[in-house]
């Protein structure tokens, strides 16, 4: 294998961009594509939420799964997730989340 067949991204060093995946740009949330196919919306990305950030309520067409890398995330039903928690949402799920202290999560979007 050569290095040309590998992609390396560092969640702590690479630049995150504006987050607008649920509509309007949210200044307190940023994201970094890891392997997201922008045509299909499937693949992986990292999302950073500043303390107090809230996502827009959204429906999942396919599966959404994420791993909490750092910080806390509170789901709309009050469940609190922390570092090491892996969460999986089935297609058709509607929810939103917020963070009290900020978080970094790895998100995996895949088809139903």
For residue 100, the domain's CATH number is 2.60.120.10
**For the chain, how are helix, strand and coil distributed in percent, rounded to 5?**
5, 45, 50
Residue 1 has pLDDT above 70, yes or no: no
Residue 38 has pLDDT above 90, yes or no: no
Angle, CA 85 vertex, CA 62 and CA 82 arms, to 5°: 120
pTM over 0.75: yes
Domain count, the chain: 1
Residue 15 placed within a domain = no
Residue 103 placed within a domain = yes
Q: CB of 110 within 8 A of CB of 41? A: no
- Range in 14-18, 35-39, 64-68, 100-104 the model is least confident about: 35-39
What's the pLDDT band for 60 if we cut at 50, 70, 90?
confident
Q: Residue 41: what pLDDT?
A: 86
Q: Which of 32, 43, 36 is nearest to 105 (CA)?
A: 32
Both tokens of residue 44? 């992986």
Residue 20 placed within a domain = no
Q: Which domain holds residue 106?
A: 27-110
Q: Residue 20: what pLDDT?
A: 87
What's the pLDDT band for 2 if we cut at 50, 70, 90?
low
- Distance of alpha carbon 54 from alpha carbon 29, whole angstroms: 8
Percent of the chain with pLDDT over 70: 97
């Amino acid at each position: 294998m050569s290095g040309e067949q590998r992609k390396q991204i560092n969640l702590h060093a690479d630049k995150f961009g504006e987050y607008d995946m649920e509509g309007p740009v949210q200044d307190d949330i940023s994201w970094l594509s890891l392997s997201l196919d922008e045509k299909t919306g499937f693949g992986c990305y990292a999302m950073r939420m500043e303390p107090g950030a809230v996502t827009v309520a959204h429906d999942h067409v396919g599966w959404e799964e994420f791993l909490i890398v750092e910080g806390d995330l509170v789901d709309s039903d009050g469940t609190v997730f922390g570092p090491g928690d892996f969460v999986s949402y089935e297609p058709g799920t509607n929810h939103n989340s917020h963070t009290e202290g900020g978080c970094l999560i790895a998100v995996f979007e895949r088809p139903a």
